[in-house]
Amino acid sequence: MSKNPYFEIRRSRIQGRGAFATRKIRKGTRIIEYAGERITHEESDRRYDDETMQRHHTFLFTLNSKTVVDGAANGNASRFINHSCDPNCEAVIEDRRIWIEALRTIQPGGELAYDYQYEREDDADEKEEARYPCRCGSVKCRGSILAPRRRTRAVAAEARARRRAGQAR
């Protein structure tokens, strides 16, 4: 894995390991691609069973209704970027590729994080919320990594891409 010019991986107060800026990263910088094996939703369900996992932990990113990117297979350091409810990065999808970009200028030492907005079922109840507890520590913390409404990470990223392209609906 080649060394990323913007961040290093070390222990995080949020969870496990995280990505920390090694230099000032200016707002809008495209930091890294979320890389990994492209698999179907069925295959991701086969690999990771949320129900039986003691503590939910995966390196999956939902690209769209057909494809999930598994950062645990052929991935890179992007898989260590944690979730925050008040993030300094965002995931942008362009031409079926996922990029992590700086939402604001990040100082050296700052932990990189984006809003995972895990897909939630319409009827997501408290038990499901509890399965994905958030420890981002922000005052804006939702308490859960699940998306606030029905938007998934992929849908939100696509909407942002449209807005950027001036096609907001």
- Per CB under 6 A, residues contacting ligand SAM are 12, 14-18, 56-59, 79-80, 82-84, 134-136, 145
CB closest to ligand SAM, residue no: 16
CB of 83 to ligand SAM, least distance (A): 4
CB of 156 to ligand SAM, least distance (A): 17
Q: Taking CB within 5 to 8 Å according to partner kind, which of ligand SAM, Zn ion, none is near residue 80?
A: ligand SAM
Q: What CA–CA distance (Å, rounded) separates 99 from 105?
A: 17
Q: Which residues of 17-36 are buried (b: 16+ CB within 10 A; e: fewer)?
A: ebbbbeeebeeeeebbebbb
Give the contacts of 90 (CB within 8 A, at least 6 positions apart).
Answer: 100, 101, 103, 114, 115, 157, 160
CB of 123 to ligand SAM, least distance (A): 22
Q: Taking CB within 5 to 8 Å according to partner kind, which of ligand SAM, Zn ion, none is near residue 82?
A: ligand SAM
CB of 114 to Zn ion, least distance (A): 12
Candidates 121, 148, 145; CA nearest to 60 is 145
134 counts as binding Zn ion under rule CB under 5 A: yes
For 149, the token pair is: 């409404």
